[in-house]
Each structure stands twice: as C-alpha cells, then as structure tokens.
C-alpha cells in the first residue's frame, strides 16, 4: 500500500507539473485560475447571507424598503460575481485548449521519437495507452488536476466560512456533518481505488478494441474483408471483446450502485436530523426565520463543501496516477544510447559487421549469428534468402533501429554508436517493405517536410521520372498537387499498389542520400515492370551505395555483390556469376525463379554473365 508520504509527494509532483505547464503555456493562466477560485468561494455566501436579512426585514423589522435594498444588493452581487466567473471561465477554457494541444505535441513527439524496440514492447504499449488518457480524458489530465486544486482551495475557504456561521448556532451540527463526511470519504476512496484498478484491467481490452475499430474504419482492409468475407470474423472478435469489457464493467457498476445507495441514505438521515434541530430552535424562538434560512443553507453548504473537498482530494490522488503515467511515459529513457558526438564523413563510407549476433527483446532465439562482413561506398549489394533468414534484421541493425546483442557495427572504423544518431540516419534513403504514403499531396509525399520550401519542383519530377511514375502523375488534373486518396479531398486520386510503390521509391531518390536501401522494392510490380524500375533506379543512383533486399532475384542483375542469408548466417558472398558457378543455395534459388527472367531480362543476365566471364 502506498504510504502517506509517497501519496503527498505524488500529488505535489502532479501539482507542480500542472502549474509549470500552465505557466509555460500562458503566463496569465495561473492568475486567472486563482481569481476563478476566489470568486467560486464567494458566490455561495451571497446565496445564504442576503436571504437571511431579507426575511428578517420582512418578518421582524417590517421594513419593505430595507428588504428591497437587500434584494437589490443580492441581485447585483450575484450578477457581478457570476458574470466575472463566466468571463474568466471562458478565457481559461480558451487558454486551456492550448495547454491540451501542448500535451498532444509532447505525447506525439515522444511516440514518434521512441526506439523501435520500445514501440514493439507490449509493456511500454500498455504504458502508452494509460498515458494517452491524459490527453483524451478530461477528468484525468492536467485539467483534472487544475479542477481538483481549484476545487480544494475554493471549498476549503467555503468550509471555513460555513463553520464560522454555524459555530454561532451549535458546534454539534458541525460534528454531525464532519462525521458523515468522514464515512463518505472512506467509502469514496474504496470506490475510486476499485475504479482505478478496473481501468488498469481494461487497458489491454481497450487496446484490442481500438485495433479492431481501426480495422473497420481503415479502407485498406476493405478489399480483404470483402474478398474473404471477414465481416463475421471481425464482428465476432468485436463481440468477444465487448463481452469481456461488459463483464468487468458490470462488476464495477454494481459496486458503485451499492456504495452510492448507502451514501444517499446516510445523507438523508443527516439532513433529517439537521432539519429537526433547526425546526425546534425556530419554534422555541432561539433563532429567527431568517436565521433558520441561513443556518439551513449553511448546513447544506457545509455538507456539500466538505464532500466536494474530499471528492476533489480523492480525485487529485486518482488523476495524479494518470499524470504520473504521462510524466513517466514521456520521460522514458531511450533503450539505445544516442549521445554520440561524431560527425559522419559522407565522402567515403565503409560499413563493417564484426562478430554481430542479435536476438529481439523478450526472446531467446538469435535471428543473426556471428555476422562478419564489410562493404563500401559505390558497392551495389543484394541481400537474398528465404523468409526469416535475417535480411531485414540485418538492415535494422545497419540503420541502428536496434543495437546488436553481441558484436558491433562499424562505420569508417568507428562503432556507429559514436555518431550522432539523427545525423547518422541522414545518410540513408530507404524504401521499406511496408512503405507508407500519407493522405497528403503527391508533392508532400515525395518531398515530405521540405515540400513547403520548394520553389523549383524540377527535382521532385526528376525523382518521379527515375521511379517510372512521372507520366502517371502528370496525367492527373492537379499533377503533383493532387491529394492521395479521397479521405480529405474529393479530387484525390487512388493509385494502384505498384504506382504507390513507385512513389515511395521516388521519395527515396529525392532524398538523395549516399546509401539507398530498397526492401522488396518491387513486390507490387510485375517482373517486366520490376526490371524496368530497377534499371531506372540503377541509372539514377550512380556513385551511391545501394542495398537491395528481395526474395525475387531481379536485383542481382544490378548488383556488384550478393550476400545469401540462411538461418541468420551469411552462407554465400560473391557476384552473380561467382555464385552460379559455385553451384550452391543461390544457384538453386535462381533456377527456381528463372521463369521470371526471359526475353529482355534474360538478355541482360546473359550480358552480365559474359562480362563477368571475361
């Protein structure tokens, strides 16, 4: 169980964090919040003090003029305070939106900058889901902390005022109210802990539901669902997920109902006792009718204020847990050290894998085993092998998405950990097997963040021409300014899988880095189109290092060197001709795919064989 010291520290940390973020967002936000709290504290007293004087003037003083004066003051005071409160609330709400957007940016920045191995870690994914509630659930974000602090201060001031009023009547009334509130607080604390545990239990269930919802909404799944008639499968999984959700929610709803019912009965008993006490006091002449009204309002106000103070205190504990999740998540250290200071010399690049072995986190199986290989600038290398042989993992280590379990990856004789991470990644232009395009304009998809600065679009068109997609793009009504997809623009275009892949290749060519990595660069293309696009790509990337990853061996035609992977090891290393002559695994793969390479492509192969034979 958490100690009181830790509880106070956690709450204090959340409060400091909230105030700091509010101050950084807008320096006027905190003073406005304080003003809001003070006005909230005063408003209830207008409603209990003025009616007392109005009633007494009418029943005791018999002065209609004085009663009307108090009515006037009552209306004016209430109007001024409520108008000020509404105005400040409106201003604070507008400024608060900026604060929420600031947290969206912080959360998004952290998510997009995390190491790949952390993104794929289920524990961190659950942590991320909980942290995300800070920006999606108002009661569990910094607004919740703001409201809790504001409520606690406001209701604390009210409680002091109510006790002062009631102390003139009978301190026993205050004792009864406090006793009932203590019972209320204990039960509400149990209730909040049960709700919080339920939220934790629902984390994975909600993650699965979000995934299923995305499948239903994502048009890219549309064809698959229809062709394989997956509607019933998806709906069934949704039903199972909602049943699991409902089962847990019903339990907490029942618990909430029992506690709420008990508290309601307790509250009614308390009010009954107070009503009887005040009625007896009024009929015996101990208090006037006006005082009866004031004391009754004060007892109700005190009960409400104490309950709200306790509620906000418990709520602060509750919300602080989510704020802590958020702070802990955005403060998670990178699994990989990125503190390298070395600069990359782009003039001549020499990579070396030295005794490299690797297994993914939370697994025992090595995907790569004792890899030793060196390759240099201007080389064109094909990585070939069956699925799961280790080719893509090899590239992940080269690009430092992961660090080796054993051994080291070197660039120009230095461990790549010694280079500044962001600068190191600039040397790569990559087309991944699971490439992604955005529902932005074609220009933005190729030039990305540089699109807004482009005045001369010639380089973008050259990259698309090299990728064999320019003619298609130029045929569109808005050319490179056409949006991809119709998600946001009716005039958007839907490209085929092969055309989208060519656009992804154009993006890599446009970046114009010194190392090009093409992971299954033509998986959506026919053999003829594949040969054409690889030829174009080869012509446009002269004097660059190019690494192809492919199951299909067309890229071998354009490679100076082929690395053959099998079971996490490099079992063959050589040119196409050398490996064919070696009569090993590569030749077996090549012959199995020979039906792809006929006519024009076959002539190109023959040309390479003859040249290398010389």
Tokens representing residue 211 in the block: 């995934």
Compute the Cα dihedral for 396, 402, 408, 414 and give only its sign.
positive
Compute the Cα dihedral for 422, 424, 429, 430 and give only its sign.
negative
Supply angle C-alpha 388, 521, 545, rounded to 5: 95
Q: What pLDDT sits at residue 91?
A: 83
Q: What stretches of 420-490 show up as alpha helix (H) in DSSP?
A: 421-425, 442-447, 458-466, 470-474
* Over residues 356-381, mean pLDDT: 90
Where is average pLDDT lowest: 299-308, 371-380, 517-526, 600-609? Answer: 600-609
**CA-closest candidate to residue 548, choices 535, 577, 598:** 535
Where is average pLDDT lowest: 138-152, 425-439, 480-494? Answer: 138-152
Q: What pLDDT sits at residue 494?
A: 85
Cβ–Cβ under 8 Å, residues 406 and 355: yes
* Distance between CA atoms of residues 539 and 546, nearest Å: 12
Residue 124 pLDDT exceeds 90: no
| Per-residue pLDDT reduced to its tens digit, 423-459 | 888 888 888 877 788 888 888 888 887 766 666 688 8
Strand order in the sheet with 545-550: 428-431, 515-519, 545-550, 380-385, 561-566, 569-574
| Per-residue pLDDT reduced to its tens digit, 472-486 | 999 988 888 888 887
Q: What stretches of 114-141 show up as alpha helix (H) in DSSP?
A: 116-119, 122-136
Local confidence band at 7 (pLDDT 50, 70, 90 cut-offs): low
Tokens representing residue 224 in the block: 């698959």
Compute the Cα dihedral for 384, 385, 388, 390 and give only its sign.
negative
* Over residues 54-70, mean pLDDT: 78
Local confidence band at 369 (pLDDT 50, 70, 90 cut-offs): very high
The residue behind tokens 């069956």 is 386
| Per-residue pLDDT reduced to its tens digit, 187-241 | 877 777 787 778 778 888 888 888 888 777 776 676 567 666 777 888 888 888 8
Tokens representing residue 327 in the block: 């702070």
* Distance between CA atoms of residues 332 and 246, nearest Å: 33
pTM of the model: 0.64
Q: What pLDDT sits at residue 562?
A: 93
Please give the radius of gyration of the chain, using alpha carbons only, rounded to the nearest integer.
35
Q: What pLDDT sits at residue 589?
A: 84
Local confidence band at 600 (pLDDT 50, 70, 90 cut-offs): very low
Residue 334 pLDDT exceeds 50: yes
């Amino acid at each position: 169980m958490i100690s009181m010291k830790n509880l106070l520290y956690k709450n204090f940390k959340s409060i400091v964090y909230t105030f700091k973020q509010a101050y950084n967002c807008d320096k006027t936000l905190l003073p406005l919040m304080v003003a809001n709290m003070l006005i909230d504290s005063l408003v209830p007293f207008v409603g209990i003090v003025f009616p007392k004087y109005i009633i007494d003037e009418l029943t005791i003083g018999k002065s209609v003029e004085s009663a009307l004066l108090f009515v006037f003051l009552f209306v004016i005071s209430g109007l001024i305070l409520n108008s000020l409160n509404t105005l400040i609330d409106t201003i604070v709400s507008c400024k608060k939106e900026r604060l929420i957007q600031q947290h969206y940016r912080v959360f998004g920045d952290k998510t997009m900058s995390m190491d790949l191995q952390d993104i794929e870690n289920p524990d961190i994914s659950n942590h991320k889901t909980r942290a995300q509630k800070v920006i999606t659930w108002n009661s569990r974000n910094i607004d919740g902390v703001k409201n809790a602090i504001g409520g606690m201060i406001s209701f604390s001031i009210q409680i002091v005022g109510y006790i002062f009023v009631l102390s003139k009547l009978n301190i026993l009334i205050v004792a009864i109210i406090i006793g009932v509130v203590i019972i209320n607080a204990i039960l509400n604390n149990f209730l909040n802990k049960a709700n919080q545990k339920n939220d934790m239990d629902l984390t994975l269930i909600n993650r699965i539901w979000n995934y299923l919802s995305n499948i239903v909404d994502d048009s890219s799944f549309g064809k698959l669902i229809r062709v394989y008639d997956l509607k019933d499968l998806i709906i069934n999984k949704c039903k199972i997920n909602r049943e699991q959700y409902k089962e847990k929610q019903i339990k907490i709803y029942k618990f909430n109902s029992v506690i709420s019912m008990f508290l309601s009965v307790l509250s009614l008993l308390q009010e009954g006792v107070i009503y009887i006490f005040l009625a007896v006091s009024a009929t015996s002449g101990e208090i006037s009718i006006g005082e009866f009204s004031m004391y009754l309002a004060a007892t109700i106000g005190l009960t409400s204020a104490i309950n709200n103070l306790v509620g906000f205190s418990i709520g602060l504990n509750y919300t602080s847990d989510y704020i802590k999740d958020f702070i802990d998540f955005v403060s998670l250290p990178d699994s990989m050290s990125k503190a390298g200071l070395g600069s990359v010399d782009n003039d001549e690049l020499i990579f070396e894998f030295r005794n490299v072995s690797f297994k993914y986190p939370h697994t025992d199986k090595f995907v790569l085993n004792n890899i030793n290989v060196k390759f240099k600038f201007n080389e064109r290398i094909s990585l070939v092998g069956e699925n799961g042989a280790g080719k893509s993992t090899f590239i992940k280590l080269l690009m430092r998405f992961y660090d080796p379990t054993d051994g080291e990856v070197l660039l120009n004789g230095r461990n790549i950990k010694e280079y500044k991470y962001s600068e190191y990644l600039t040397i790569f232009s990559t087309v991944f097997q699971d490439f992604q395009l955005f529902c932005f304009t074609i220009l933005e998809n190729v030039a990305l963040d540089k699109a807004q600065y482009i005045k001369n679009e010639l380089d973008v068109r050259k990259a698309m021409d090299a990728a064999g997609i320019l003619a298609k793009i130029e045929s569109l009504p808005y050319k490179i300014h056409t949006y991809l997809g119709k998600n946001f623009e009716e005039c958007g275009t839907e490209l085929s899988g092969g055309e989208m892949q060519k656009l992804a290749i154009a993006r890599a060519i446009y970046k114009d880095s010194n190392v090009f990595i093409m992971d299954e660069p033509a998986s959506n293309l026919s053999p003829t189109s594949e040969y054409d696009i690889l030829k174009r790509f080869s012509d446009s990337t002269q004097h660059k290092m190019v690494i192809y990853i492919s199951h299909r061996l067309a890229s071998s035609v354009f490679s100076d060197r082929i690395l053959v992977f099998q079971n996490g090891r490099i079992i063959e290393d050589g040119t196409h001709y050398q490996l064919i002559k070696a009569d090993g695994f590569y030749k077996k793969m090549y012959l199995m795919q020979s039906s792809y390479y006929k006519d024009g492509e076959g002539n190109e192969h023959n040309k390479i064989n003859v040249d290398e034979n010389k």
